[in-house]
Structure 1
Amino acid sequence: MSEKSETGQMDAEEALMRRVFRDFNISVSQHKLWVALYCFVVVAATAVVVFSQTSYYRAEATLLIDPNLVQDPAEQKSLANLDLQVAVIRSPELADKVIEKANLLTDPEFAEGPDPRQHFSENLETAVEKTNNTIQIYYLNEDPEKAALIANEIAETFLKFKSTKSSGLSVESIDSLQQQVKQQMDKLSVIKTKIAELNKANPDLGGESVVGDQIKYLNNEYIKTDARILQLKTTIAELESLIQNGGSVESSPYAASHPRVRAKLDRLREAELEVVQLEQEYRGMHPAVLKAQTKRNALQQTLDEEKTQLLTELRAEQKTSEATLEQLRQNIQKLQTQEKELTPQKLEYKNLLAEETSVSETVKLLNSQISKTSVAASYKQTGIEILSYASVPQSPFKPDRPKAILLAFVFAVFSSLGFIFLRCYMDKSFRLDEDIEELLMKPFLGHLPSVRSQKDGVTPVFRDEKESVFFYNYLRLACANMNFLNTEQGGKQSIMVTSSRPGEGKTFVAYHLAHAYAREGRVTVLIDTDFCRSSLSYLFPQPEVKRPGLHDYLMENAKLEQIIEETTQKNLYLIRSQEAEFSAPHALRSERMKDLLRDLKNYMDVIVLDAPPTLTVSDAVALGEIVDMRVFVIEWGKTPREVVQRAISRVAPGNLVPACVILNKVKNIGGSYYSQYRHYYSGKKEKRNFETK
Structure 2
Amino acid sequence: MNAPDLPIAADHRLLPPERAPLERPYGVPLQAPSAQSLGLEEEPEGEGLDLRELWQVVLKRRWTIVVVTLIVVATMMTNTYLETPIYRADLTLQIDSEDIKVVTIGTPVDTATGGQDYLQTQYELLKSRSLAQRVVEQMGLNDRPAAAPPTPPSWLTQAKRWLAGLLARGDTDPVVTPEAGAPDPAADSARLEGAISGLLGGLTITPVRNSRLVRLSYASPNPVLAAAILNNLAKSYINLNLERRFDSTTYARNFLQERLQQVKTKLEESERELVEFSRREEIISVDQKESIITGNMTAASAALIDASKKRMAAESIYRQMERTRGQGLAAVLDSTIIQDLKQTKAKLEAQYQDNLSTYKPAFPEMVQLRNQINQIDATIDQEIDNIRAAITGNYEAAKAEEGMLRANLERMKQEVLSLQGRSIPLNILRREADTNRQLYEGLLQRYKEVGVTAGIGTNNISVVDEAKVPSAPFTPNPRKNGLLALVLGVLGGVGLAFLFERLDDSFRRPEELEKLLGLPMLGIIPSSPRVTAEGRAIALVGHDDQRSAFAEAYRSVRTALQFSTATGVPRLLTVTSAINGEGKSTTALSLAIQFAQAGKQTLLIEADLRRPTIHGSLRLDNQTGLTNYLAGGEAQPVDITRPTHIPNLFAIPSGPLPPNPAELLASARMVELLSLAAERFDQVILDSPPLLGLADALIIGNLCQGTLLTVEAGSTPRGYVVGAVKRLRTARVPLLGSILTKLEARAGGYGYYRSYYYYQHSGYYGDSEAKKLSG
When the two structures are superposed, what TM-score results if normalisation uses the length of structure 2? Answer: 0.47
Check whether the contact 1:525–1:575 (CA below 8 A) recurs between aligned residues: yes
Aligned twin of 1:474? 553
**2 CA distance for matches of 1:141 and 1:476?**
74
Question: For each residue in 1:650-680, what CA deviation from the matched residue of structure 2 results, as whole angstroms up to 9, or x when unmatched?
Answer: 1245998233222333345698653313436
Give identity over the alignment, percent.
Answer: 21
Greater CA deviation, 643-652 or 455-464? Answer: 455-464
Matched, 1:313 2:437: yes
How far the C-alpha of 1:477 sits from its partner, in A, is 2.1
- Which digits, 9 at most, give the CA deviation of each residue in 1:606-657, with x for residues without a partner? 1111111100211212222232221112222211111111112112459982
Distance 1:148 1:313, change over 3 A: farther
Q: State the alpha-carbon separation in 1 of the partners of residues 545 and 763 from structure 2.
A: 17
Q: In the superposition, relative to structure 1, how do residues 235 and 155 fare at CA in structure 2: closer, same or farther (>3 Å)?
A: farther
Q: Which residue of 2 aligns with 1:335?
A: none
Matches within 5 A, 1:21-36: 23-28=53-58
CA shift, 1:470, in A, is 2.1
Deviation at 1:447, TM superposition (A): 0.8
| Deviation, structure 1 residue 461 | 9.8
Partner residue of 2:680 out of 603, 624, 630: 603
Q: Distance in 1 between matches of 2:579 and 2:758?
A: 31
Quick check: 1:531–1:551 contact (8 Å CA) kept in 2? no
CA distance in 2, matches of 1:162, 1:677: 80
Instruction: Name the structure 2 match of 1:87.
Output: 128
In structure 1, what is the Cα distance between the partners aligned to 2:195 and 2:672?
A: 100
Classify the secondary structure of the residue corresponding to 1:374: coil
Partner of 2:740: 663
2:328 maps to: none
CA distance in 2, matches of 1:457, 1:447: 20
CA contact (8 A) 2:702 2:732 kept: no
Amino acid at match of 1:24: L
Residue in structure 1 matched with residue 572 of structure 2 by the alignment: 494
Could you report, residue by residue, the CA deviation over 1:93-120 in whole angstroms, capped at 9, with x for unpaired residues?
32454799xxxxxxxxx9xxxx999996
- Is the Cα–Cα contact under 8 Å of residues 429 and 639 in structure 1 kept in the other structure? yes
**1:548 Cα offset (Å):** 5.8
* 1:386 is the counterpart of 2:461: yes
Structural mapping, 1:544-559, within 5 Å: 547=624, 549-550=626-627, 552-553=629-630, 559=636
What is the root-mean-square deviation of aligned Cα atoms in Å?
A: 6.2
Q: Secondary structure at the match of 1:485?
A: coil
Q: Match for residue 61 of structure 1? A: 93
Cα distance, 1:83–1:170 mapped onto 2, change above 3 Å: closer
Query: Secondary structure of the residue that 2:127 maps to in structure 1?
Result: helix
Contact 2:525 2:740 in 1 (8 A): yes
Contact in 2 for aligned 1:497/1:510 (Cα 8 Å): yes
Q: Of 669, 690, 711, which aligns to 1:613?
A: 690
8 Å Cα contact 1:499-1:633 kept in structure 2: yes
Question: Which residues of 2 match residues 282-321 of structure 1 at below 5 A?
Answer: 312-313=436-437
Q: Is 1:564 equivalent to 2:625 in the alignment?
A: no
Identify if the C-alpha distance between structure 1 residues 677 and 599 changes in structure 2 by more than 3 Å, giving closer, same or farther: same
Q: Deviations over 1:31-52 (max 9, x none)?
A: 88998999999999999989x9
Q: Which amino acid aligns with 1:509?
A: T
Query: Does the 8 Å contact 1:236/1:314 carry over to 2?
Result: no
Residue equivalent to 1:302:
none
Partners of 2:572 and 2:66 in 1: CA distance: 50
CA distance in 2, matches of 1:57, 1:463: 71
Residue 85 of structure 2 contacts residue 221 of structure 2 at CA under 8 Å; is this kept in 1?
no
TM-score, structure 1 normalization: 0.52
1:675 aligns with 2:755: yes
**Aligned-partner Cα distance in 2 for 1:461–1:602:** 27
Amino acid at match of 1:621: L
Map of 1:415 onto structure 2: 492
* Structure 1 position 235, deviation (Å): 6.2
Q: 2:260 aligns with which of 236, 244, 247?
A: 236
Q: Assess, with a 3 A threshold, how the Cα gap between structure 1 residues 391 and 316 changes in structure 2: closer, same or farther.
A: closer
CA change 1:658–1:172 in 2 (3 A) is closer
- Residues 163 and 19 of structure 1, relative CA distance in 2, 3 Å threshold: closer
- CA 552–38 in structure 1, closer or farther in 2 if over 3 Å, else same: closer
Which string of whole-angstrom CA distances, capped at 9 and with x for unpartnered residues, describes residues 134-177 of structure 1? Answer: 99743459999999997565234124236547856866999x9x
| Shift in alpha-carbon separation, 1:670–1:119, aligned structure 2, 3 A | closer
- Counterpart-to-counterpart distance in 2, 1:232 and 1:611: 113
Letter in 1 for 2:562: N
SS in 2 for 1:643: helix
Distance 2:513 2:609 in 1: 30
Deviations 1:220-269 (A, max 9, x none): xxxxxxxxxxx9967614989xxxxxxxxxxxxxxxxxxxxxxxxxxxxx
Q: Is the 8 A contact 2:606 2:653 kept in 1?
A: yes
| AA of the residue aligned to 1:497 | V
Indicate conservation of the 8 Å contact 2:554/2:591, yes or no. Answer: yes
Partner residue of 2:724 out of 642, 647, 670: 647
Query: In the superposition, relative to structure 1, how do residues 526 and 668 fare at CA in structure 2: closer, same or farther (>3 Å)?
Result: same
- Specify the code of the residue in structure 1 equivalent to 2:554: L
How far, CA to CA, are the matches of 1:426 and 1:419 in structure 2?
10
Q: What is the deviation of 1:560? A: 3.6
Computing the radius of gyration over CA atoms, which structure comes out larger, 1 or 2? Answer: 2
Letter in 2 for 1:373: A
Aligned counterpart, 1:138: 217
Partner Cα separation in structure 2 for residue 317 and residue 635 of structure 1: 104
Tell me what 2:240 maps to: 161
- 1:374 is matched with 455
Instruction: Tell me: higher relative CO, structure 1 or 2? Use CA pairs within 8 A at least 6 residues apart.
Output: 2
Aligned to 1:283: none
Q: Which residue number corresponds to residue 708 of structure 2?
A: 631
Corresponding residue number in structure 1 for 2:158 = none
Alignment of 1:417-456 (within 5 A): 417-444=494-521, 445-453=523-531
Which residue of structure 1 lines up, in the alignment, with residue 106 of structure 2?
Answer: none
Shift in Å, 1:488? 0.7
Measured at CA, do residues 629 and 65 of structure 1 come closer, stay the same or move farther in structure 2, by a change above 3 Å? farther
Three-state SS of the structure 2 residue aligned to 1:446 is strand
CA 1:414/1:316 → structure 2, altered by over 3 Å: closer, same or farther? closer
The aligned runs of 1:59-458 (5 Å cut-off) are 59-61=91-93, 86-88=127-129, 91-97=132-138, 123-126=202-205, 137-139=216-218, 151=230, 154-161=233-240, 163-164=242-243, 236-237=260-261, 312-313=436-437, 371-375=452-456, 386=461, 398=474, 407=484, 410-411=487-488, 413-444=490-521, 445-453=523-531
Q: Compared with structure 1, are the counterparts of its residues 63 and 154 closer, same or farther at alpha carbon in structure 2 (3 Å cutoff)?
A: farther
2:537 touches 2:617 (CA, 8 Å); kept in 1? no
CA distance 1:160–1:682, change in 2 (3 Å): closer
Residues 160 and 43 (structure 1), Cα distance of their counterparts in 2 relative to 1, 3 Å cut:
same
CA distance in structure 2 between the aligned counterparts of 1:543 and 1:681, rounded to whole angstroms: 36
Using the TM superposition, give the Cα deviation of residue 456 of structure 1 relative to its aligned residue in structure 2, in angstroms.
13
Count of aligned positions: 479
**In structure 2, distance between residues paired with 1:642 and 1:478:** 25
- Residue 506 of structure 1 aligns with which residue? 584
Structure 2 Cα separation of the partners of residues 84 and 410 of structure 1: 40
CA change 1:238–1:53 in 2 (3 A) is farther
Unaligned runs of 5+ in 2: 1-43, 104-111, 113-119, 142-149, 151-193, 265-431, 766-775
8 Å contact from structure 1 (residues 30, 672) kept in 2: no
Q: Which residues of structure 1 form unaligned runs of 5+?
A: 1-13, 101-109, 177-230, 241-307, 322-365, 686-693
Moved more, 22-31 or 116-125: 116-125
